[in-house]
Amino acid sequence: MSYSLTIGPFHPAWRGPQRFIMDLEGETISNIDYHSGMNERGCAERISRIPLSQALTLVPRICGTCGHAHMMAFCQAIENLTNTTVPMRAQLIRMIVVELERIEINLAGAANLCTVLGVEQHAKVLFNLQQICNTLLNELITSRSATNIMMPGGLAYNPPSYALSLIQTGNAQLIKQLYAVIDSIIDDRNLLTRTVEIGMLATNAADQLDVGGIIARASGITRDIRFDMPYAAYQRLDVNRVVQSGGDVYARLLVMLLESHESAKMVEQSLRLLKTGPCEGEIPVLPVGNAIGSVEAPRGLLTYSIASDGVRIIQCEIIMQRQLDRLLSRSLIVNVQLDDLLPIIASTDTCTACAER
């Protein structure tokens, strides 16, 4: 029996509006048409029409989950334009912030995937760990709706020592708890049967599609500019790249979990390297010129390309690596069973706020 089915634009299995229109032969998806664009806001164009002070308020709000990554890339673009050197203390605190943010996003994605798969015992633990990470991040960020701890040249303010001490203690516990939950999930045979060889993306296909983040590293691609072209103080950290070769839902779940564990270790090392000293930045006078700033965001390479006329930013482009779109959805979903659709979508953890800037 042939029929069509539409899911979306909203569903608990994914972040933000997306629509999937499928043709089915029995229970097998024979074709899929992906529709996006319902979340486009033109943020890059707005940055070129407002003063830099207002842009520094807008950029952290572009994405509600990885606003710090956006702010770090934007600040690095301005610093490259103005030839500004960022103090080591500020670089390390920036890394602590973005890695805590990465942990929170990955744990939320893993918990959501476990919920979709029906393994609520794992989902509950992961959601609890996500909340712990959110609490640690909030020790530095007093308002989640105004994520503006970063400033060109450094930080908007010097975090108090008690907040950093609380993060150090809480992060040490988080590392232990993450290790335990990862160990229990790896051995869960019920989860394995629902995720292994489901929604597969081979390494050569991932490379041709130029995907990044979780999707790429779950398909055996090692690209990560934190290690390939280190920025901030990443070159001072001793960490392991997280790569899986399966390219399936299980591999993407493992990457989310293992990257969370590695990010927590990065936070631990950054805190150990942290010394007292200046760290505050300021709104600079912009020279004429062009510059870019890139970071490894949770979902792949994020780049801000800016141009200045000597007074303000006159052009801004925000470039995010491919996430779930029409071509990638067909590569992952065509010829799979309908029951596997939601786990595949959830495993990509696509963020429409980043994809549709």
Mapped onto helix, strand or coil, the DSSP state of residue 46 is helix
Q: Report the DSSP beta bridge partners of residue 304.
A: 293, 318
SS3 content of the chain, % helix, strand, coil (to 5): 50, 15, 30
Quote the pLDDT of residue 142: 65
Whether 17 contacts 38, CB under 8 Å: yes
Per the structure, the complete domain to which residue 263 belongs is given by 2-355
* Helix or strand run (H / E) with residue 136: helix 120-140
Residue type at 10 in one-letter notation: F
The total number of structural domains in the chain stands at 1
DSSP code at position 6: E
Give the CATH number for residue 253.
1.10.645.10
pTM here is 0.94
Quote the pLDDT of residue 356: 65
The residue to which tokens 């629902």 are assigned? 194
DSSP E strand boundaries for 261-312 = 288-297, 300-309
Mapped onto helix, strand or coil, the DSSP state of residue 241 is coil
Mapped onto helix, strand or coil, the DSSP state of residue 284 is coil
> How do the pLDDT tens digits run along the chain, 357 residues long?
788 888 888 888 777 788 889 888 989 899 999 887 677 778 888 988 899 999 999 999 888 888 999 999 999 999 999 999 999 999 999 999 999 999 999 999 999 999 999 999 999 999 999 999 999 998 887 644 445 799 999 999 888 888 899 999 999 999 999 999 999 998 888 888 889 999 999 999 999 999 999 999 999 999 999 999 999 999 999 988 999 999 999 999 999 999 999 999 999 999 999 998 889 999 999 999 999 999 999 999 999 999 999 988 999 999 998 888 888 999 999 999 999 999 999 999 888 777 766
